[in-house]
Amino acid sequence: MSNESLDPRIRRLDLEHVKNGVQPTNSHWITFEVFHQEKRGRQAIHVGIVHAPSPEIALMFAKEQYARRKSTSNLWVVKSSEVFTFASEDEDIFETTPDKTFREPGFYKVRDRIEAYKNKHS
């Protein structure tokens, strides 16, 4: 099989220097994190990444890859290098949160006291 393109416009380009030639020092595109919003008013949820040379093209790739099924109202792309996170080994700083049940409505058992009061005074 020949590697020649069927498109004459491509064949007219001098691609030899690219084929055999110098790789630029950076051959990578930018990594973007992709967020998908299913409907207006819903949260945008992280779904994956794309590689693209610019945010505009990143959006285009994100549409091809993450909006192929079901409904989509919008997509966000953010450069991965612009996302800041905690180190994964610091996960324990969140450890005690679920223990703080006094922040939950179920913690307060007012009904018990009312029933006890009623029983005592009736």
Partner 1 sequence: MYGNTFMTAEEAKQMDQTQDNPQKLIAFEARIERGEKIEPGDWMPVDYRKQLIRMIEQHAHSEIVGALPEGTWITRSPGFKRKLALIAKVQDEIGHGQLLYSACETLGKTREEMLDDLLSGKSKYSNVFNYPAKTWADMAVIGFLVDGAAIVNQVINSKGSYGPYCRALERICFEESFHLKQGHDNFVFLATGTNVQREMVQEALNRWYIPLLHFFGPSDKTSVHSEKLMKWKIKLATNDDMRNQFLDQYVPKIREVGLTLPDEKLKKNLETNKWEFSDPDWDEFYRVVNGDGPCNKERLEVRRFAEEQGRWVRQALVNPQDKYVTPFA
- Does 108 bind partner 1 (CB under 8 A)? Our answer is no
For partner 1 (CB under 8 A), the number of binding residues is 38
* Residue 45 lies near partner 1 (rule: CB under 8 A): no
Which residues within the stretch 63-92 sit at the binding site for partner 1 (CB under 8 A)?
64-65, 68-69, 79-81, 83, 85, 87-89
Q: Using alpha carbons only, how large is the chain's radius of gyration in Å? A: 28
Q: How far is the CB of 28 from partner 1 (least distance, A)?
A: 4
Residue found by looking up tokens 């922040």 in the block: 103
SS3 state of residue 56: helix
Q: Does 93 bind partner 1 (CB under 8 A)?
A: no
- Using H for helix, E for strand and C for coil, what is the string for 45-100? EEEEEEEECCHHHHHHHHHHHHCCCCCCCEEEEEEHHHCCCCCHHHHHHHCCHHHC
How many whole angstroms separate alpha carbon 29 and alpha carbon 48?
16
For partner 1, the binding residues in 47-66 under the rule CB under 8 A are 47-51, 53-54, 57, 64-65
Q: Find the binder of partner 1 among 42, 45, 46, 108 (CB under 8 A).
A: 46
Question: Token digits for 72?
Answer: 């989509």
Are 30 and 51 in contact by the 8 Å Cβ rule? The answer is yes
Contacts with partner 1 by CB under 8 A lie at 1, 3, 5, 10, 13, 15, 18-19, 24-31, 33, 46-51, 53-54, 57, 64-65, 68-69, 79-81, 83, 85, 87-89
